Structure 1
């Protein structure tokens, strides 16, 4: 009779243990997908907003550099009160002299315009350097976008992993509760000792502790998800198939060297440094400019007035400025050399990142295969030991050890199956392909050239272009 009751409990425990295999099955169509998480991360990232503002600031540097090649128009005005008191004539015999008094209030307005005609390309090189800096900043923005999306993948899979571990721990609690009940039944009929019951009680207490820890990990994973995606997670569905990656590491490295945003950003920085060298060299040459002015002077309470104007061609050159000009050339050369060295370092870092990403992906695949074999073996062992224990051939400790081994195997399998997605998307990031455009996410792709095209020519505030720019800035501030 005791054996029959124990076998019934065994069937219940085996059925409960099989629940864990349904954890990776897809859930309802209303669940949140990985693509939804990526869209949320792209749309809600404060870090992306911050660096888009940094890019807009770099765009303005182009307009500032171009302003050196445009006319400068300014005006001056003044209001002057003149007074004069004069005593003339008179004699030593106290004869009165002549007193004269003059009071004049005059105003003048002057309009002055100047234009740089030729500076041996100094301003033009500065403009081109600013453009290269804009391109470098755009690539930096792409690199940050990749980091944001990879973090979203990690957060998404982290929540799935934590939820599955909690489910496994809950199933483990049910199994151990049934095992404790069976141990007590067997103790009552004298089949086991009090020690077996105590072992089952201790294992159940340890399982409660493990469940509490897993629930804490789930809370932490959800908090990380909210930071990475911009909202709390709902019901998460099983992620889609793994993204396609290059078949060989060599091909992936070649792709990364050609298209990775970190490399392209440094390449533009090198180009900008070269242009700044040429600009600083040209600043040591003469400059030719044209200046024109027109002035109007009026005297109040008088018919006196004047008009004046002038146009001049000015040529000048700075011969000595305390060594500042030559020092600027040397500084820009040193910065160019530093950027070239940085380019070499970044290329090596990107190639190493590709190797590391592929190694991580291969390791994750191997872990999945190993964990699947481990789960199958642990299931067979658990079922066999449990049957033998029911017949008295195994102790309670053997059953508890087998159950713990099965739990560990399933936990390892869950971890491996979730982490392979992070590894696969890490490969995309390492090769520069983890962007909203490459992933074809259903989002409004940020166009870095839109703002640049509005500001590159420095539109006047009250012009049509300037008013359009004001509307764009108000929209950005509202967001």
Structure 2
């Protein structure tokens, strides 16, 4: 079965099984899989929280850039002093109010390259945060697609189970009538009653599953499901071969890119700590103006500028240990990149296999449904002439129900596997899905704060 044909058959099957138009007659409330994904993208607290985290990470860059800038401070002081002096029998007293103001400036000229390393590290952290945001977006969109299909599946199964009660109830009525005229025994009636009771139990279970799926849908999408339309896989985003899918995933999956930026940040941390072993050169300037320093009414003004060179000689081995530690952490991040690449590769291959398996399961389940329908019809006819027992009819009815449930489950699994494959490739984005929503641009906030020298208000006004 081709993917396009399977998608069309999927839509027809689920729409017929669910009968959602009758359940939700208000067509204006119809929800498609794409609109549900759009809702999740806009309203998800997970995505919005990750966006705030990226904005917080953006501030690491101006923090690092502050190392290039001067530190300026002003000071003021005031006090009161009393003194008494006696010289050759003559005593004198004085009371002064010493006070003054001052301005100090410290400017680092060279600090072993620590500021430059800190800026590179902060920028790598920003890029990694953006990729982590992208991964979170794709994860939420996948969860939304999964929740959407779970509601469709559980609604369809609930309708099948309810219909099964009606069918078994009619079977019980016919069996009771035949028992009344002596055609069957009390055992046949009891078997029918047992199947009706079991069917009611399955309806209760199906209702519980549907309530759980609806709750998960609301948590992820933000609203209760209303008149859900049939869902399909984003076939245009899936390549023709698993090899091509792996190649796309290794180049586009945001988790791999985030791991690479984390490696860059770890390598910058090594250079940052190594800078502590190098000399530091800075300039200090100060201007002070004082009153009543020695005698009442005096004024003094002083200014100074000092160049200071600090050369670290030995720190007890502490800095050296941190350098070695940072190098090992960088090695760990390098292995993390390899690990994430293999995880992405495995996820793509697994999703591709699940997609192929679910397609085969659909074909098998379709054949099973067709055969079970034929078998049930034949068993009923044979039971009317006494060649089959009531139990045979009940078993045939149960086999048909199981086949239909298997078919609906396989249809759901195929759509979910398709979205899992697209996510593993890194393509489950609002842009590539053409969701028609305003795309959040993380670079806007970064550009707003990158060159700020002062100010405590965020660009959003907080």
Same fold at TM > 0.5:
yes
1:348 aligns with 2:347: no
1:373 aligns with 2:372: no
- Secondary structure in 2 aligned to 1:238? coil
1:63 aligns with 2:67: no
Q: Residue 233 of structure 2 contacts residue 416 of structure 2 at CA under 8 Å; is this kept in 1?
A: no
Structure 1, gaps ≥5 residues long: 1-18, 90-96, 475-479
1:40 aligns with 2:43: no
Shift of 1:186: 1.2
Paired residue for 1:328?
322
TM-score, with normalisation over the residues of structure 2? 0.92
Shift in CA distance, 242/29, structure 1 to aligned 2, threshold 3 Å: farther
Paired residue for 1:185?
177
Shift in CA distance, 246/83, structure 1 to aligned 2, threshold 3 Å: same
Shift of 1:169: 0.6
The within-5 A match list for 1:55-454 is: 55-89=54-88, 97-240=89-232, 242-244=234-236, 245-299=238-292, 302-454=296-448
CA distance in 1, matches of 2:434, 2:219: 23
Deviations 1:307-356 (A, max 9, x none): 11112222222222222221221121111111011111111111111111
Shift of 1:240: 4.1
Structure 2, gaps ≥5 residues long: 1-12, 22-26
TM-score, with normalisation over the residues of structure 1? 0.89
Deviates more, 1:76-85 or 1:365-374: 76-85
Deviations 1:279-298 (A, max 9, x none): 22233111221221111112
Shift in CA distance, 61/471, structure 1 to aligned 2, threshold 3 Å: closer
CA distance in 1, matches of 2:369, 2:166: 19
Shift in CA distance, 20/247, structure 1 to aligned 2, threshold 3 Å: closer
Shift of 1:242: 4.0
Paired residue for 2:458?
470
Deviates more, 1:270-279 or 1:382-391: 270-279
- Secondary structure in 1 aligned to 2:59? helix
Deviations 1:408-449 (A, max 9, x none): 000101111112111000001110111222212222212111
- Secondary structure in 2 aligned to 1:472? coil
The structure number with the bigger radius of gyration is 1
Shift of 1:236: 1.0
Pairs aligned (count): 443
Q: Residue 20 of structure 1 contacts residue 168 of structure 1 at CA under 8 Å; is this kept in 2?
A: no
Shift in CA distance, 350/20, structure 1 to aligned 2, threshold 3 Å: closer
CA distance in 2, matches of 1:230, 1:459: 40
Shift in CA distance, 248/24, structure 1 to aligned 2, threshold 3 Å: farther
Shift of 1:231: 1.9
- Secondary structure in 2 aligned to 1:470? coil
CA distance in 2, matches of 1:217, 1:137: 36
Q: Residue 298 of structure 1 contacts residue 305 of structure 1 at CA under 8 Å; is this kept in 2?
A: yes
CA distance in 2, matches of 1:103, 1:83: 4
Shift of 1:57: 2.1
Give the CA RMSD over aligned residues.
1.9
Q: Residue 243 of structure 1 contacts residue 425 of structure 1 at CA under 8 Å; is this kept in 2?
A: no
Deviations 1:159-183 (A, max 9, x none): 1101000100111011011111111
- Secondary structure in 2 aligned to 1:250? helix
1:458 aligns with 2:457: no
Shift in CA distance, 31/430, structure 1 to aligned 2, threshold 3 Å: same
Deviations 1:201-244 (A, max 9, x none): 11111111111111111111111111121222222111145433
CA distance in 1, matches of 2:146, 2:225: 13
Shift in CA distance, 459/235, structure 1 to aligned 2, threshold 3 Å: farther
Q: Residue 233 of structure 2 contacts residue 419 of structure 2 at CA under 8 Å; is this kept in 1?
A: no
Deviates more, 1:116-125 or 1:180-189: 116-125
Paired residue for 1:4?
none
- Secondary structure in 2 aligned to 1:234? coil
Paired residue for 1:51?
50
- Secondary structure in 1 aligned to 2:30? coil
Deviates more, 1:280-289 or 1:257-266: 280-289
